[in-house]
Amino acid sequence: MKEDAANNYARGHYTVGKDIIYLVLDRIRKLADQCTGLQGFLIFHSFGGGTGSGFTSLLMEQLSVGYGKKAKLEFAVYPAPQISTAVVEPYNTILTTHTTLEHSDCAFMVDNEAIYDICRRNLDIERPTYTNLNRLIGQIVSSITASLRFDGALNVDLTEFQTNLVPYPRIHFPLATYAPVISAEKAYHEQLSVSEITNACFEPANQMVKCDPRHGKYMACCMLYRGDVVPKDVNAAIATIKTKKTIQFVDWCPTGFKVGINYQPPTVVPGGDLAKVQRAVCMLSNTTAIAEAWARLDHKFDLMYAKRAFVHWYVGEGMEEGEFSEAREDLAALEKDYEEVGVDSVEGEGEENKRNISTQIKETCLHNFSQTKNHILMIINVSILCLQRECISIHVGQAGCQIGNACWELYCLEHGIQPDGQMPSDKTIGGGDDSFNTFFSETGAGKHVPRAVFVDLEPTVVDEVRTGTYRQLFHPEQLITLRKMLPITMPVVTTLQEKNWLILFLTESESWLTSVLDFKVSSSSTPLVAAPDPDSPPS
């Protein structure tokens, strides 16, 4: 029997999700107990799916209760403008954004349509698959986490992402950009310089969310370089960027860049589409341009909700209809927040209302960001080099699990871990850096186990992890589906007619589900019947 959230936020949050939440929390607790200094959680999910939206929001609420101030960073797949996996994506996205807004410290955004276009244009893939998309997203995640796993000149940890990218608690949705995205054929003829890959990150076509940064203002940029990169080249590249008129920063925030440099060069999956390059950069930028993506989604929500379309499916799962209005109002306030932070501080006497940007926003920004202007902010993160600060990755729903599969494949290739979890005897862990243990725990048998949990209410995608190349990496308890929570004894049926009737019955009569599941039919019993008369055979 298939049991999932059916693209329904309420189902993932209130009904089906409640059946599995405590099992998931127990698995997370076991991983946390193995940590000497848990730094936080990395949560991978989509905004549009039922599990990715509903169950993730429920989980993050519980993590806030159980783990207090531990950092919670999201890697979220945002609904694309033209490509949709479900009609109700706007409902799910706005509901989960509203619910998680106070529980998430930072949410890195990508959308499928933007990545599809990048794969077609840069990699010459006519029909990109989820594997192509997820491996590209994996490169972004790898770049963001590289400083947690490898030594480098300028490292960045989870708390620094928040400090340098989030000027105000609600304004925590940075865009992700990665360069170079280049095929092996092209890479054979060219190796891009630091200046070229830096410039590429500011091109609208390379943004991994469909919005134009030229229509907004930057509040912060975090540049994460890998490979053959030296601070002098980075300094020169960013100095050039600052001279461009098309790249604007809000006037109340310094035009400084947070920079991370990691000497570990980018790794690619053998036989994949991405080329092996000497250097790469991932840019995380908090820009007011993301407001156009929120506005686009809010408009779709309004069109459906005006007719109360599909609302009964949510109410039928125990959700109050008032939550729709409450969530929509919160998103309208979020749009307003982005509009206000983009307003210049001084605009003349006649613009008093515009100049009344929230004092709290300004004070928070000035506190979080360095007062130094017009130069690169380069801070060596001593704590990461000295302390073992573990992170637990939680992969939720189809998108979260598939991205997780791609990420752990890449991590293993980067660290030289074999599919069985063993590391060759001639290789030192993480290149000699103890921070390797932030993502892996080592068992007594020398096996390296990811600090990760995979969760999906429907087992198909988790089964891909369970049977994939790196299946031996994970303990069975780390792979969780609702199937483990429902020990169902299905009726025994012997004829094709009985099987077809049973399928039809389960499909059309959900209210009878409990009684049907408790009903056993032996091979010698009277055939199942659809009519109240027990002696009447099925038609």
**Which residues are marked as active site?**
160
- Helices 56-67 and 21-33 pack at an angle, to 10 degrees, of 40
Question: What letter would DSSP give residue 96?
Answer: H
Residue 38, both tokens: 């848990």
Residue 322, both tokens: 């008032």
In degrees, rounded to 5, the angle at the alpha carbon of residue 261 between the alpha carbons of residues 257 and 262 is 155
Helix (H, G, I), strand (E, B) or coil at 268: coil
Question: What letter would DSSP give residue 247?
Answer: -
Give CA–CA dist 346/214, Å, rounded: 21
Give CA–CA dist 354/287, Å, rounded: 18
Burial class, 53, CB count within 10 angstroms (exposed 0-12 / middle 13-18 / buried 19+): buried
Whether a cis peptide bond, with omega within 30° of 0, leads into 459 is: no
Give CA–CA dist 41/71, Å, rounded: 6
What's CA 326's distance to the chain center, in Å? 24
Name the residue among 388, 12, 399, 333 with its Cα closest to residue 169. 333
Helix (H, G, I), strand (E, B) or coil at 38: strand
Give CA–CA dist 272/275, Å, rounded: 8
Residue 218, both tokens: 């930057």
Give CA–CA dist 293/109, Å, rounded: 11
The DSSP secondary structure of 123-176, one letter per residue, reads H--SS--HHHHHHHHHHHHHHHHHHHHS-EEE---HHHHHHHH-SSTT----EE
Question: What letter would DSSP give residue 54?
Answer: I
- The radius of gyration computed from the CA coordinates of the chain, to the nearest angstrom, equals 25
Number of Cβ within a 10 Å radius of residue 248 = 16
Q: Which residue is associated with the tokens 């190796």?
A: 191
Q: Which residues contact 75 (CB under 8 A, 6 or more apart)?
A: 42, 43, 44, 45, 107, 108, 110, 137, 141, 403
Measured in degrees and rounded to the nearest 5, phi and psi for residue 340 equal: -70, -40
Spatial contact of 223 and 258, defined as CB atoms under 8 Å apart: yes
Give CA–CA dist 10/92, Å, rounded: 8
Q: Which residues contact 205 (CB under 8 A, 6 or more apart)?
A: 117, 118, 121
